[in-house]
Copies of this chain bind each other. A is one copy, B any other.
Amino acid sequence: MVVGEISQERNLLIIGGGPGGYSAAIRGAQLGLSITLIEQADIGGVCLNEGCIPSKIVTHAAAKRTEITHLQELGIGIPENQFDFKKLLSYKDRVINQLRSGVESLCKENKIEMIRGKVTFLATDKIGVENGHQFDIYEFQQVIIATGSTAVMPPFLIEKGERILLPHELFAIEEVPDHLIVRGSDYIALEAASSFAALGAKVSVVIENKADFPFDESVNKELSRLFKKRKIKVHKELQFISTNETKDGITMTFLTDKNVEETICGSHLFVSGTRIPNLEPLGISRFGIDLTDEGFIKVDGNMQTSLPAIYAIGDVTEGPMLAIKAIKQGKAAVASIAGQQTEVDLTFMPVVAHTIPPAVSVGLTEQSAREYGLVVRASQFALGSNGYATLSGKKDGFIKVISDATTEIIQGIHMIGEGAIELSGSFVQLLEMAAREEDLKFPLYAHPGISEGFLEAVEGMVGQAIHAAPVKEKRQSIIFK
C-alpha cells in the first residue's frame, strides 16, 4: 500500500455520493463552498444504481404492460404475450448509466473534487481514503457523513442462498421469477408484488403479525382489492416458523391468524424491510459521536452531530430511509455550513408506492385524525366517476381528502390511482401551506382532467360532488361527525 506522505487539506468533505451526498455537494458548490465528494462505488448510491431508479424502471414497465388491454381497445394492436424481460434489463442499464453520467457531469461542471475510495476516520478532523493500493489522508474543516444504509436479512432468516433476494438483488434479477414470495408490507414489498405480477410472475405476499399496508385504511383496502383482482395472494397476520431454500425453490412454513400451520412453495423469496446504517466501516464511533439507541447518528436541526465539525444526513440518521429525506437534509447541511438559516420538517413527507395503480399518502390518515381528536371530515371520490380517468382507461382508485371540520384546514390527502405520483407534490404543497377546503374548491380545473376528481373529493365533504350519488342523510351525519 502506498500511503500519501502528508495529509492534504480540504474545506468540506462529503462522504458518500448517493442522492443526499451529491445533492449536498452540488448545492454546496452553488453556495460557494469548496467541496470534495468521496464515493467508494458508483455515484448515485443505492438509490440510483440499485434502488429507487432500477425499481421504478421495473414498476414503470410493469404498469405499461397492464395497459395492453386498454391499448387494444384504443385500436393499438398488441399481441398479448410478447414481453422480453432481457430488453427491459438493457433499457434499465442504459437509463442508469445515463443518469449516473449526468450526475458525474454535474459534479464536474460544479467544480466538485471527486475522490474514489473507502473512508476511515483517523481523528475528528482527519480521514483516510483507501483506493486499491493507495491510501491518502485528508484533514477537513467540516465533513458530511452520507454513507447510507445496507439491506440486511431479518433475524428469522439466518442463511441466505441465491433464491432469497434483498431489494438490490430483486431489481437486478435476470429473469422474471416463476413464483415470487414477497415478505413485507412496506412500499418496496408492494411495488415488488405489484410489478412482478404484472410482468408474469405468480406472486404471494406474506405479512407478519399486525403489520399492514402503509397507507390510509381506505387506500389499503383498495390496494387489497386490486391485488386480489390481479391474483396476488396476500397472507396476513402470520408467524413464521421456518424457511427452507433448496436448489429448486423456497418453502416457507408459518402459522396463520387461525393458528393453522401453512406452507408456501415458491421459486424465490423477496425480503424487504430491514436496513442498517453504514457506519461500522467508518470507525467514527470510537471518537465519541453520539448515537441513538438504534445506532443512528444523532443530529440537530442543522444536521450537525455531537462533534461540531461532523454533519450527517440520510440513512445514517434517524427517520425514514428515503432519498427525499437525504436530499432535503443534504441541502440543509450545506446551507447551514454556508451560514444560512435552514429547516427540515418531515411532517408532510409523502408515502409513495409505485404499485399499479400507484398509491400516495400525505398528512393524517382518517384513522390518525380521529385518534388526534379532530372533528374529521373525510370524503373520497372514485376515479371511475371522473371523465378523464374513464376515457383514458384509469378508472381504478380514488382521491380522499381529510380535513378538520372546525377550521376546514386540510389534514391529509390520499390517492390510489393513475396520476397519484404526479399529484403527490401538490398534496404536500397544499398541506405545507395549510390549505383550507375553499382553497381547493375555488380554482378552475382543466376539463376534462383528473384534478376535477380532486375538486369533487373536497366538494364531497359537504355532499356537493357533482359526479357522485346524492348523499343520504344518514351517511351525511357520519361524514360530519
Interface of A with B (CB < 8 Å)? 19, 22-23, 26-27, 29-30, 47-48, 52-53, 56-57, 60-61, 64-65, 67-68, 70-79, 82-88, 91, 95, 98-99, 102-103, 106, 109-110, 322-325, 327-328, 343, 345-346, 348-350, 352, 360, 385, 387-388, 390-392, 419, 421-426, 428-430, 432-433, 435, 439-440, 442-452, 454-455, 463-464, 466-470
A57 to B392, CA, bound (A): 7
Task: Compute how far the CA of A431 lies from the CA of B404 in the bound complex, rounded to whole angstroms.
Answer: 23
- A68-B76, A325-B444 in contact; A451/B425 too (CB < 8 A)? yes
Judge whether A64 and B73 touch: CB under 8 Å. Answer: no
Once bound together, how far apart are the Cα atoms of A173 and B362, in whole Å?
44
Q: Tell which of B392, B425, B432, B467 touches A426, judged by Cβ atoms closer than 8 Å.
A: B425
On whether the beta carbons of B75 and A466 are closer than 8 Å, the reply is no
B57, B85, B328: the one within 8 Å of A444 (CB): B328
This chain: how many copies in the complex?
2
Selected contact of A76 from candidates B82, B99, B387, B429, CB within 8 Å: B82
Chain B residue, CB-CB nearest to A451: B425
Q: Which residues does chain B contribute within 8 Å of A30, judged by CB atoms?
A: 463-464, 470
Given contacts A52-B448, A56-B388, A324-B446, 5 further A-B contacts (CB under 8 A): A53-B387, A65-B76, A328-B444, A422-B422, A426-B451
Q: Which of A95, A98, A322, A343 has the most CB of B within 10 A?
A: A95
The residue from B47, B106, B421 contacting A446, defined by CB atoms under 8 A apart: B421
Could you list 22 examples of A-B contacts with CB < 8 Å?
Answer: A30-B463, A30-B464, A57-B391, A64-B70, A68-B76, A74-B87, A76-B82, A99-B390, A103-B467, A323-B448, A324-B444, A343-B442, A360-B446, A388-B421, A422-B449, A422-B451, A425-B449, A425-B451, A428-B451, A429-B440, A429-B443, A433-B433
